Structure 1
Amino acid sequence: MPIPDLSLRTVDVTRYVTPLREGGSLPGLVEADDGFLYVVKFRGAGQGLKALIAELIVGELARALGLHMPELVFIRLDEAFGRTEPDEEIQDLLRFSTGLNLALHYLSGAITYDPLVNTIEPRLASQIVWLDCLTLNVDRTARNTNMLMWHRELWLIDHGAALYVHHTGPDWAQNTRRPFPQVKDHVLLPQASELEAVDAASRALLTSDVLQAILALVPDEWLTSDQSTTLSAAEQRQNYVRFLEARLSASETFVQEAQHARKALI
């Protein structure tokens, strides 16, 4: 099977609108040269380019699974924006983020998912829990759901904290069977009653060709800026592919872990 042809558009920031201070990495709302508003994840934020890499990979994995994700785009930031910003913290962030960043299409009018108000079907809940177990996404809790309700549908955002093992050193990709005890805090775990059925369907969708196509989207520059490794961009892409393939091949492990955590809750 040929590798799917995936691509992300590239736009330029024309106006910095406002910081979104509820985000730990201080994302910003900007207008781009295509006339749309975007939420930018800046390369100069605390977790650096690896957070952008995780954002891109997991966002596109979600899309491949048929989950709602705002469009991701590459977005270029000119150094001039840092010089004109009066807030020193934001000025530094913009200055360190000159160049290529990642952004999500802004969902105007969307509201934060509230587990006390919004009801999610078991299959959708199971799909999201399964994805977050696969990618070790620690950031989908009741305190910080990273989900939005928009036009009566659930949309996923903010995956920069996923794949956190790639922060642990050059051999990070070898620990593929890492447990995921944080699943016990997942906001959708109580509704996720179809994990086994979702496991089979999701593994069928995330083929090696799909993984290769998603990793091909990651810019070389983002991969080679890591001074802690001598691996080429291509070698690092293969590390991510192998890591995800190994997680998929042993998915029954994290599915069982999630099921045990769910039983303890209900």
Structure 2
Amino acid sequence: MDRHLAIIGGSGLYQIDGMEEAAWRSVESPFGTPSDEILTGRLGAVRLSFLPRHGRGHVHSPTDVPYRANIDALKRIGVTDVVSVSACGSFREEMAPGDFVIVDPFIDRTFAREKSFFGSGCVAHVSLAEPVCPELSTTARAAAEAAGVRVHDCGTYLAMEGPQFSTLAESRMYRAWGCDVIGMTNMPEAKLAREAELCYASVAMITDYDSWHPEHGAVEITQIIETLKGNAEAARSMVTGIARALSEKPSCEAGCDRALEHAVMTAPEKRDPQVAAKLDAVAGRVLQ
């Protein structure tokens, strides 16, 4: 199967050098309307798509991002690999603003979001012991380094509900838990990508030290925006490098595309036909 890379991220990634046949495409999903149209095209030998997580103009708050519709829509257009690029705060002195962190484990502290495609009528339980694709994460790391960015491995991502930033007490607590970065959008995105049998990797672009750092104090939006602008060029270069690497790898060997192999628990004769119909893109491979 040809690799089809999708980037979920912000406005700095709209323009990828060398992207051909680029066009915005509307994709319908039974799980609602995606955040925006999807920019689709080609980058060398790889199909490339870009989905603005918050919509162009930043119209969706972290809680209101239509995560299920986004992942379902990407699956419907044939995406095989998803790289999340997002702004994050850092809990570690050595993970400084401007650095990139390749996220591995997650701690999900969100509470107001739909977190699964499955439910009553068709129940499934996927493993999230290793929530990201190791091959895609390694590829993203190499591409980020080649772009001249200082990169850190295996960062634990604390997903908070938002939209407010952490209190000082929360920031200190998450740091004590052993978390490395904090953000508002990778959950339930990573969970849904696993249910959709997509390779998923997350790249955290550090913009600030959250509120724990005694010399930096409260998070400033102006600081975040300035750091993001500085990271945008490196992020675009990273995307180009990921696409180039995927063109040389016809498939992923980590098993992400078989995540639902033994996950669906509801017996075929007990499945709700309407629920199963909504799952045609996400789980059609195992429900047919």
- TM-score bracket, normalised by the shorter chain, equals under 0.3
Bigger proportion of residues as helix: 1
Higher relative contact order (CA 8 A, sep 6+): 2
Bigger proportion of residues as strand: 2
